[in-house]
């Protein structure tokens, strides 16, 4: 029988006398829908939002809210619910709130007093006070919210805080006021409606059933999990939208395949195959996998939000990153993230995970260019809403491309080619500085997908892709053209790409071998057979020379910094990042050899000149002799004048990396050089000429100490031997030494040897 809460409280149930209303029996648990934990919060807010939506659309007969079955029996003219306590209590509090706002409590006091809790006397007393001693005048007082006004009443006992049902009711009233305070509801019309908010009233005595079955149904004493709520609410959400009928999914059964709508497919699969998959990945302590499914749809939703623009992406992503945030159906719906695209992508991705297609399973299990299994388990399944832009982009690209390529006869090969391309476009850490870069990259992928007609290589070469590093895009187009020429080119390009330090970025070799220049003239690399062999031989030779000096970890450490010294003899190769660096072998985006190789491709004149120095070194390398002998010979061919700032580093190679000082800062046309062990400059950094003088004193068995002197704002020699003689270089940019004895300026000279002589003679 379909009815309403107020029908029961008003004793208006056909063929039944329920003059005493509703009585929650002793066997029932506490009221829990108002509890302040993530699961209860999800259920409570979604339930209230559903009611709000129903009220706001009360003129639409299709928007009525049906709350399923309420089971129970009648005893002594009271209805005793065995299942439905939570919904009934929440509805009761909502009716009470609307009556309060409309100043109707006194008029309907008899009906409201027919809702009783027998679980605890304190709960029953609280409800009595709420109806009989809290009036419209109390509600209208300024300054406090509703629950504060209730708690501050003299009749509210402090020990009621120990009653879980009361605290849960108070929490529920907070949310009711928050959600409905701006909603105008005519209480008389509300209670007279027989269709707006209803449930199916089931008297088990009339069905000849005992209460044992229903007690067992309610025995677990736990609210719905977030997964159970997602399953129930998302199914209803999908069904309420027109796109539900726009897609056809196939369900297989004993009689074959049946085409169904989105909601039917979702509800069926979420209860069977998908649930089985995630059950194997459940939390073994709780046997729950709610978080993983909710994290998946959240990950997809944020990606799709970014794909349509940055407007709300940053704010919502930041909300997701908060420690207290728990993704839920209610949160996703509230934030407007449950779009048609997100729901379809969610379904398609879950189908990918459980697919029995041997080709797809084989592809997903093998890390061709990046670990897809790790990507899914650590970035998608986990609560990972940080700025993992590379992972987000790879996931977005793979899922989208899998849908595009599914009907392609050679789709495994296409998937591998796309994975390699996506890996290369996203491998460098400097691509994604913020969400703007990420969003541009998503749009770039969408341009590529829009041009896809069965061959990802052809689509990429033909597309004007944006959103990625422009040099990397050019490099990938060149490599694709080479790979597609013939098997020998494919093997060669893959071999070079797989070098551990290059990690698929080989643009400097394409430049040195003149292939890049040819591409600038002929975008299809259309050359004859002779040119084909010349270019293949050229890039092979440059790669052979590269591996003489660089291994999987970066620059091979030659004795006395021989490689850096030789390259410095040819020219100033230092890279600028706040200060200048002799380059490191790590993956630093600003000061590593990797950046040096990348920038060879640059159109900037300063980088093109630096590239020349490396090319000269490679061109001067004889692969028939070892690397060390090559470097020594090359260095001899490029003598340096002693007035050149490079001279001191070449003659004193241990200065490169001195106390981990791979950075330098210079002023005054390189006459004032400081050694740094970090990218940022500090005026405590050691000045080069001072350090060289300090070393020359040590060679003469004279100790000296270098320290920072506040008065001069720089480091200098603060003692020589046992005397407090001080020596500074380039005070006031005069390019000379100043020797201070007993606090007085005693000697000036531009020549370090003269300063050394003066100190030796006057010590």
Residue 297 has a pLDDT of: 92
Residue 143 banded pLDDT, cuts 50, 70, 90 = confident
pLDDT tens column, 487-509: 999 999 999 999 999 989 999 99
DSSP tag of 723:
B
pLDDT tens column, 583-636: 887 766 677 898 889 887 777 777 788 889 999 999 999 999 999 999 999 999
Q: What does the pLDDT average to over 655-675?
A: 83
Q: Which residue has the higher pLDDT, 42 or 747?
A: 747
DSSP conformation letters of 367-435: -SSS-HHHIIIIIISS---SS-HHHHHHHHHHHHHHHHHTT-TTHHHHHHHHHHHHHHHH-SGGG-SSH
Closest alpha carbon to 72 in 257, 204, 184, 221: 204
For residues 89 and 105, give the distance between their C-alpha atoms in angstroms, rounded to a whole number: 17
**Are 582 and 565 within 8 A, CB to CB?**
no
> Phi and psi dihedrals of 498, rounded to 5?
-75, -5
Which residue has 């650590």 as its token pair? 378
Q: What does the pLDDT average to over 380-393?
A: 76
Range with the poorest average pLDDT among 234-248, 398-412, 463-477, 525-539: 398-412
What's the token pair of residue 627? 């690397």
Q: Using N-to-C axis directions, what is the helix angle for 85-101 and 164-180, rounded to 10°? A: 50
pLDDT at 212 exceeding the cut of 60: no
**Are 9 and 22 within 8 A, CB to CB?**
yes
Residue 725 has a pLDDT of: 93
Q: Which residue has the higher pLDDT, 174 or 254?
A: 174
For residues 566 and 664, give the distance between their C-alpha atoms in angstroms, rounded to a whole number: 18
pLDDT tens column, 529-570: 999 999 999 999 999 999 999 999 999 999 999 999 999 999
For residues 648 and 568, give the distance between their C-alpha atoms in angstroms, rounded to a whole number: 11
No. of helices (H) and no. of strands (E), the chain = 35, 20
Closest alpha carbon to 183 in 73, 48, 380: 48
Residue 217 has a pLDDT of: 42
The model carries a pTM of 0.75
Burial class (CB in 10 A: 0-12, 13-18, 19+), 500: exposed
Which residue has 């690209």 as its token pair? 397
Strand, helix or coil at 625? coil
DSSP conformation letters of 157-212: -GGGGG-HHHHHHHHHHHHHHHHHTT----HHHHHH-SSSEEEEEEETTTTT--SH
- Computed over every residue of the chain, the mean pLDDT equals 88
Q: What does the pLDDT average to over 5-24?
A: 91
- C-alpha 236 chain-centroid distance: 29
């Amino acid at each position: 029988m379909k009815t309403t809460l107020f029908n029961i409280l008003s004793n208006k149930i056909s063929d039944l006398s329920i003059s005493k209303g509703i009585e929650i029996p002793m066997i029932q648990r506490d009221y829990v829908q108002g509890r302040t934990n993530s699961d209860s919060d999800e259920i409570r807010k979604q339930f209230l939002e559903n009611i709000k939506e129903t009220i706001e659309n009360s003129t639409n007969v299709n928007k009525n809210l049906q709350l399923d079955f309420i089971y129970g029996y009648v005893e002594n003219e009271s209805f005793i619910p065995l299942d439905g306590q939570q919904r009934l209590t929440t509805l009761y509090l909502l009716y009470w709130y609307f009556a309060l706002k409309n100043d109707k409590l006194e008029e309907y006091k008899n009906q409201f007093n027919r809702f009783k809790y027998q679980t605890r006397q304190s709960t029953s007393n609280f409800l009595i006070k709420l109806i009989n001693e809290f009036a419209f005048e109390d509600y209208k007082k300024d300054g406090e919210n509703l629950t504060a006004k209730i708690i501050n009443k003299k009749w509210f006992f402090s020990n009621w805080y120990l009653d879980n049902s009361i605290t849960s009711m108070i929490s529920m009233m907070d949310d009711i006021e928050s959600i409905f305070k701006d909603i105008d509801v005519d209480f008389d019309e509300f209670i007279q409606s027989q269709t707006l908010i209803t449930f199916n009233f089931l008297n088990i005595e009339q069905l000849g059933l005992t209460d044992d079955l229903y007690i067992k149904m309610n025995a677990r004493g736990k609210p719905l999990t977030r997964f159970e709520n997602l399953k129930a609410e998302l199914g209803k959400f999908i069904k309420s939208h027109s796109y539900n009928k726009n897609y056809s999914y196939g369900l297989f059964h004993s009689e074959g395949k049946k085409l169904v709508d989105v909601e039917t497919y979702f509800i069926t699969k979420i209860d069977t195959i998908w649930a089985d998959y995630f059950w194997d990945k459940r939390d073994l302590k709780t046997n729950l996998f709610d978080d993983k499914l909710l994290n998946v749809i959240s990950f997809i939703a944020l990606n799709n939000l970014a794909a349509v623009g940055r407007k709300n992406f940053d704010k919502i992503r930041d909300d997701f990153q908060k420690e207290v945030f728990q993704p839920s159906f209610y949160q996703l719906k509230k934030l407007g993230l449950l779009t048609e695209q997100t729901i379809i992508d969610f379904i398609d991705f879950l189908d990918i995970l459980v697919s029995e297609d041997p080709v797809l399973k084989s592809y997903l299990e093998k890390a061709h260019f990046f670990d897809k299994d790790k990507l899914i388990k650590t970035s998608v399944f986990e609560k990972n809403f940080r700025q993992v832009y590379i992972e987000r982009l790879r996931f977005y690209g793979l899922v989208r491309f899998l849908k595009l390529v599914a009907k392609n006869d050679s789709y495994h090969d296409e998937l591998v080619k796309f994975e390699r391309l996506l890996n290369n476009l996203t491998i460098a850490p400097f691509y994604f500085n913020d969400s703007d870069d990420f969003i541009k990259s998503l749009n770039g992928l969408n341009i590529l997908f829009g041009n896809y007609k069965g061959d990802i290589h052809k689509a990429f070469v033909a597309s004007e892709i944006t959103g990625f590093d422009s040099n990397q895009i050019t490099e990938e187009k060149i490599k694709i053209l080479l790979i597609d020429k013939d098997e020998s080119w494919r093997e060669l390009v893959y071999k070079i790409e797989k070098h551990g330090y290059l990690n698929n970025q080989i643009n400097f070799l394409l430049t040195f071998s003149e292939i890049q220049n040819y591409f600038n003239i002929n975008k299809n690399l259309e050359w004859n057979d002779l040119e084909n062999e010349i270019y293949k031989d050229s890039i092979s030779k440059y790669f052979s020379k590269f591996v003489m000096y660089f291994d999987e970890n970066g620059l091979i450490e030659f004795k006395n910094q021989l490689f850096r010294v030789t390259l410095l003899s040819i020219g100033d190769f230092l890279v600028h990042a706040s200060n200048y660096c002799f380059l490191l072998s790590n993956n630093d985006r600003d000061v590593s050899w990797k950046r040096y190789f990348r920038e060879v491709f640059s159109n900037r004149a300063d980088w093109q000149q630096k590239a020349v120095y490396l090319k000269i070194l490679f061109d001067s390398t004889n692969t028939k002799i070892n690397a060390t002998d090559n470097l020594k010979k090359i260095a001899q061919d490029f003598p340096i004048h002693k007035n050149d700032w490079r001279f001191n580093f070449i003659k004193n190679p241990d200065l490169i990396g001195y106390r981990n000082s791979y950075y330098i800062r210079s002023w005054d046309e390189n006459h004032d050089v400081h050694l740094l062990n970090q990218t940022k400059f500090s005026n405590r950094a050691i000045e080069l000429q001072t350090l060289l003088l300090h070393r020359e004193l040590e060679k003469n068995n004279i100790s000296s100490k270098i320290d920072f002197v506040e008065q001069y704002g720089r480091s200098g020699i603060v003692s020589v031997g046992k005397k407090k003689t001080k020596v500074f270089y380039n005070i006031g940019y005069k390019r000379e030494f100043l020797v201070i004895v007993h606090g007085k300026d005693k000697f000036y000279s531009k020549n370090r040897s003269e300063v050394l002589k003066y100190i030796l003679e006057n010590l």
